[in-house]
Amino acid sequence: MRTLSPTRGMLGGVSGGRLPAAAGEQTLIERARAGDRQAFDRLMEAHLSRVWDRVWRILRHREDCEDVVQEVFLTAYRSLPQFRGESSLSTWLARIATTRALNQIERAAEKVRRASEPLEESVGYPALSATGNPGTGGPRLAPTPLQELEARELRRRLSECLSQLPANWRVILSLRDVDSLAYEEISHIVGIALGTVRSRLARARIALRHCIRGETS
């Protein structure tokens, strides 16, 4: 690691301001563990956004997300005395959030509700319609090679197609592409075999690609 002078660097000439007066997170954790609700409120406010992001990437369903995020913080509040501080609070919360989101998937019988079994069942790589049913219903995306899609259109299609993927595929995509976890870590978190992580990730990506390209098959 190369260290530069503290007074040099890209921001060396920028004048600073007063220091924030917020109490340290560790202090807040200790107070929250002792039952201080205000301390927990501050921790919750600080971490709410990232917990929400994580859960949303898995569920992509607003109401479900709200329920799960509430559960995450209720769980955290009650489990805080067991939090040993071996990882950061955000990491700990992220793990709870992933677990709860996965649990929500099972509870909600997601596959049935979103009618996305054909993706999972198929051995090929079907294109998804806007409704998630290959070849039926909904406006179909115009077939376009990925390279020709503008960045904005790519983001729009990506969002649409991610919503159509089975949630247990999205979990893996999120853990890999957003959190950059190794396959082994994903395997432990999701509770599936390493080989399943690999194959499911590949299938999810291929299905996503076909969906975004608007291909029929």
Partner 1 sequence: MTSRENEHPHELISAYLDGEAASSERQMVEMHLRGCAECRTLLDDLRRLALAASAEIPPPVPAGLAARIRWRLPRQEPKRGEVRRRPWWRAPLPLSAAASLVLAVCVVWMLRGELRLAQGQPELRASKLLIDATVAQEAPDAPQGSGVDERVRQPSGHIQELFGQETVSSASDPETTKGEVESRTALAAVIPEDLGEAVLGEVSGDELSERKDATAKIPLQRMKLRKVEKESRRSREMTGQREEQAAPEPKVTSYDQPTPAEQPQSSRRVSKEEPVDEARIYPEGTRDQERYGDLQILGRSYADLMTLAPGVTDTDGDGNLNVRGAREVDFSVRTGTVRAGTKLKESAAFPMGAQVIVEFPDHHIAISDTGLISIKIGDYACSVQVEGETPSEARMESPAKPRAISSIFALAASLESHMNDEVSGAVEHFQTAGFGESARRITLQDAAGQTVRRLHYAGTSVPPPAAEIERRLLGLVRERYRNEIEKACGPLPQLEEASD
* Closer of 40 and 116 to partner 1 (Cβ): 40
Q: How many CB atoms lie within 10 A of CB 214?
A: 18
Closest approach of Cβ 135 to partner 1, in Å? 18
Closest approach of Cβ 179 to partner 1, in Å? 5
* Closer of 137 and 184 to partner 1 (Cβ): 184
Closest approach of Cβ 121 to partner 1, in Å? 13
Measured CA angle at 93 (ends 87, 97), to 5 deg = 135
User: Per the structure block, which two tokens stand in for 157?
Assistant: 């299609």
* Closer of 137 and 159 to partner 1 (Cβ): 159
The answer to the question of residue 183 lying near partner 1 (CB under 8 A) is: yes
The answer to the question of residue 198 lying near partner 1 (CB under 8 A) is: yes
Q: Annotate 128-178 with three-state secondary structure.
A: CCCCCCCCCCCCCCCCCCHHHCCHHHHHHHHHHHHHHCCHHHHHHHHHHHH
The answer to the question of residue 158 lying near partner 1 (CB under 8 A) is: yes
Yes or no: say if 82 and 35 are a contact pair by the CB < 8 Å rule. no
The answer to the question of residue 103 lying near partner 1 (CB under 8 A) is: yes
Question: Number of residues in contact with partner 1, rule: CB under 8 A?
Answer: 104
Of 22-81, binders to partner 1 (CB under 8 A) are 22-24, 34-35, 37, 40-41, 44-46, 48-50, 52-53, 56-57, 62-63, 66-67, 69-71, 73-75, 77-78
* Closer of 115 and 182 to partner 1 (Cβ): 182
Q: Is 172 left (phi over 0), alpha (psi -120 to 50) or beta?
A: alpha
Yes or no: say if 118 and 134 are a contact pair by the CB < 8 Å rule. yes
Nearest CA to 113 among 121, 105, 122, 103?
105
Of 116-155, binders to partner 1 (CB under 8 A) are 123-125, 145-152, 154-155
Cα Rg of the chain (Å, integer): 21
**For partner 1, which stretch binds (CB under 8 A), given 9-17, 112-120, 126-134, 136-144?**
9-17
The answer to the question of residue 173 lying near partner 1 (CB under 8 A) is: yes
